[in-house]
Amino acid sequence: MIGRRTLLAALAAAAWPAARAQAPRDATVPVHGQLLSRSSGPVPGCTSYLVHERLGRSTPSRTDNYGRFGWTAIPVRREPYFLELYWGSKLIYRSQVLVQGPLVLQPIVL
C-alpha cells in the first residue's frame, strides 16, 4: 500500500515539469502594428498605447513614415489590452488585443 507521503511526493514530481513548461508570469513579448488611411496609405505621426486594466497605460509609440508602431516588451496577460490610437489628443481607434505571445497585428485601415 502506498503511503500518503509517497503519494504526495509522486504527484508533486509529476506536476513539476508541467509547471516549469509554462511561461513565466513576468514574460514580455513584442507587439507591432500598422496604421493606414484608405485614401492616402500610411499614417505617420499618430500616438498609440496599449492599456491594461491592472497594468495601466504603456509607453507611447508614434507611427513612423510607414504607419508602423510597436513595443518590444509588453507583459503577457490572460486579460485583454485595449489598443488606442490618437491623432493629437483625439482618440481615433480603440480595440481589444490579446497579448499571449509575440504579436503582429493586422493593418488598421481608417
Within a domain: 4: no
Question: What would the pLDDT profile of 56-99 be if each residue is shown by its tens digit?
Answer: 999 999 999 999 999 999 999 999 999 999 999 999 999 999 99
Q: pLDDT higher for 73 or 19?
A: 73
What CA–CA distance (Å, rounded) separates 104 from 70?
A: 9
The CATH number that applies at residue 84 is: 2.60.40.10
Does residue 105 belong to any structural domain of this protein?
yes
What H or E segment, with its residue span, contains residue 42? strand 41-42
| Enclosing domain of residue 63 | 24-109
